[in-house]
Structure 1
C-alpha cells in the first residue's frame, strides 16, 4: 500500500511517499481502507518533532480518518467488513490503509461523505469536549473563540452558538471572520488590527467573557485571559501560534477564573464511553442539519506536502482533506 512516511523530523517537504506493508489489526482493532484523512494543525508539528509526543521514526502522520472496514479483530463486535466508518488514530492516517482502535471507530452516517466524515471527529470532538466537559458552557454565557476560522475554532463557533452562547469570533483577517459569521458568530474581532483586550471589554460592556477557547496561544493568550469575567474558564486547546505562553498566575487569583487543559485525544482513549456519548450527540445534530463542516480544499495523497504547507502558512479556513484511495 502507499503511505506518506516521515523518516526524519523536519518540514513537510522532507516527507516521502512509499509502498509499505499493510498493517495487521490486533484483537481489539480494525483494519480500514482509508478513503479520506483530514489535516490538523498538530500534524504540522508532529512531522517537525515539535509536538508533545514524538512517534518513533519512521511513521505516517494523520489522525482523522474515514474509510471502509476491511478486517476486524476478534474482540470487535460493533463493526464488520464493508462498514463505512470514521474515527481517530494517534498517527498513520495518510495512507491507503490504517489500523484503528475499535473503540475509536464509528459507523459513518449514510448521508455523510468521506471527506466530511474525515473532517468531523477531531474538530467537533475536541470542541464539544472543551465546551461541554471542560468549560461547562451554559446557555446565555459569552464565549470567545481565538483562531476562529480554523478547523477546531470554526467547530467551536458553531457548537457554542448551538449551545445557546453569545459567540465572539477572533481571527486575523476580515475574510476569515466573514466565514465565522456564516457559522453563527455574533461579534468578531480582527486581532491583526484591533486590540484584543480592549475589544473584548467593549463587546461585553466591561464584564468580560465567560469562556475563552484558545487553540492559538502565543501573544493572544494573556490579553484573552485578562478579558475573562469573574469565575471565567480559559480553555487551553493548542498552540497554533508556535509559542507556548507564560501566564501570570496572579490573573487567575484576581479573576477567580480557571485555566483548564483540553486534550481530546487522551479523553477519547481514557474514557471511551463518555467520548462515545459525545459523538452520538454530535451525530444527532449533524443528522438534523445543525452542524456543517467547512471543507477548504481536497488534495490527493501525492500532494500531502502541499496540504501541510497550506496549514502551516495559515491559508486554511475550516478543514483541508487528503483523499487516500
Structure 2
C-alpha cells in the first residue's frame, strides 16, 4: 500500500511516497481503508521536528482520517466491516490503510461525505474543547476569533454561533474576513485596518471582551488580551504566525482575567470517551448543516507536499484534505 513518509526532518518537499506493508489489527484495534486524510498546521511542524509530539523516523503525517472498516481485531465490538468511520491518531494517517485503537473511531452519518468527515475532528474538536470546556463560553458573551478563516478559526466562529456568542472574526484580508462572516461571525476585522485592540474594545463594549480565541500568536496576541474585560478568558490555541508571544503577566492581575492553554491532542489521547462523545456531537452538527466542515482544497495522497505548502503559506480557508485512490 502507499504511504506518505517522513524519513528525515525538514520541509515538506523532503516527504516521500513509498510502498509499505499493509498493517494488521491487533486486539482492540481496527483496520481502516482510508478514503480521506485531514491535514493541519501542526503537520508542517511535526515533519520538521518542531512540534511537541516527536515520533520516531520514519513516520507519516496526518492526525485524522475517514474511510471504511476493513478488518477487526480481537475483542472489538460496535463496528462491522464496511462501516463508514472517522478517527484520530495524532500522526500516521497519510496512508491507504491504517490501524487504530477502536476507542478513537466514530461512525460517520450517511448525511456527511467522508472528505468533510476527515477534516472535522481536529479543528472542530479543538474549538469545542477550547470554547466549552476551557473557555466556559456562555450564550450572549462576546467572542473574538483571531485567524478566523483558517481551520481552527472557522470552527470557533461556527461553534461560537451555535453556543449563542456574539463573535468578531479577525483575519488578514478582506476576503478572509468576508468568508468568516459568511459562516456566522457578527462583525469582522481586517488586521490591515490597524488598531485591533481598539476594534475589540469597541466590540466588547463597556464590560470588555469575554473570550479571545487565538490560534495565531505573534504581535496581535497582546493587543487582543488588552481588550479583555474582568473575568475574561484568553484561549491559547496555537502559533500559526510562527511567533510565540511573551505576554506581560501583570495584565492578568490588573485586568482580573485568565490565560488558558488549549492542548486538544493531550486531552483527546487521555480521554477517549470525551473524544468519542465530542466527535459524535460534531458529526451531528455537520450532518444537520449547523457547521460547514468546509474543505477548501483536496489533493491526492501523492501530492501531500503541495497540500502542506498551501497550509504553510496560509492560503487556506477552512481545511485541506488528502484523498486516496483506495
TM-score, normalised via structure 1 length = 0.97
Structure 2 match to 1:8: 8
Question: Equivalent residue of 1:77, what SS?
Answer: coil
Q: What are structure 1's unaligned runs of at least 5 residues? A: none
For residues 152-231 of structure 1, what are the structure 2 equivalents within 5 Å?
152-231=152-231
Structure 2 match to 1:85: 85
Q: Assess if the C-alpha contact under 8 Å between 2:204 and 2:210 holds in 1.
A: no
Question: Equivalent residue of 2:267, what SS?
Answer: helix
Distance 1:318 1:275 in 2: 21
Distance 1:76 1:259 in 2: 41
Q: Assess if the C-alpha contact under 8 Å between 2:119 and 2:321 holds in 1.
A: yes
Question: Equivalent residue of 1:205, what SS?
Answer: helix
1:137 equivalent in alignment to 2:137: yes
Q: What are structure 2's unaligned runs of at least 5 residues? A: none
1:264 equivalent in alignment to 2:270: no
TM-score, normalised via structure 2 length = 0.97
Q: 1:192 to 1:64 in 2, by over 3 A?
A: farther
CA shift for structure 1 position 274: 2.2
Comparing 269-278 with 245-254, which one deviates more in the overlay? Answer: 269-278
Distance 2:149 2:120 in 1: 15
Distance 2:104 2:220 in 1: 33
- CA RMSD, Structure 1 to Structure 2 (Å): 1.2
CA shift for structure 1 position 61: 0.5
Distance 2:237 2:315 in 1: 20
Q: 1:21 to 1:192 in 2, by over 3 A?
A: farther
Structure 2 match to 1:63: 63
Distance 2:97 2:281 in 1: 28
Question: Equivalent residue of 1:204, what SS?
Answer: helix
Structure 1 match to 2:234: 234
Distance 1:238 1:279 in 2: 21
Structure 2 match to 1:45: 45
Q: Assess if the C-alpha contact under 8 Å between 2:144 and 2:209 holds in 1.
A: yes
> Could you list the per-position Cα deviations for residues 272-303 of structure 1 after superposition, in whole angstroms to 9, with x for gaps in the alignment?
22222222222332232211111111101111
Structure 2 match to 1:290: 290
CA shift for structure 1 position 202: 2.0
Comparing 213-222 with 309-318, which one deviates more in the overlay? Answer: 213-222
CA shift for structure 1 position 270: 1.2
Question: Equivalent residue of 1:218, what SS?
Answer: coil
For residues 7-26 of structure 1, what are the structure 2 equivalents within 5 Å?
7-26=7-26
Distance 2:87 2:229 in 1: 36
Question: Equivalent residue of 2:207, what SS?
Answer: coil
CA shift for structure 1 position 223: 1.0
Segments of 4+ moved more than 4 angstroms: none
Distance 1:55 1:283 in 2: 29
Distance 1:69 1:23 in 2: 13
Distance 1:158 1:269 in 2: 24
Q: Assess if the C-alpha contact under 8 Å between 2:108 and 2:283 holds in 1.
A: no
> Could you list the per-position Cα deviations for residues 89-135 of structure 1 after superposition, in whole angstroms to 9, with x for gaps in the alignment?
11111110111121110111112111101011111111111111000
Distance 1:35 1:287 in 2: 18
> Could you list the per-position Cα deviations for residues 127-147 of structure 1 after superposition, in whole angstroms to 9, with x for gaps in the alignment?
111111000000000011111
Question: Equivalent residue of 1:314, what SS?
Answer: coil
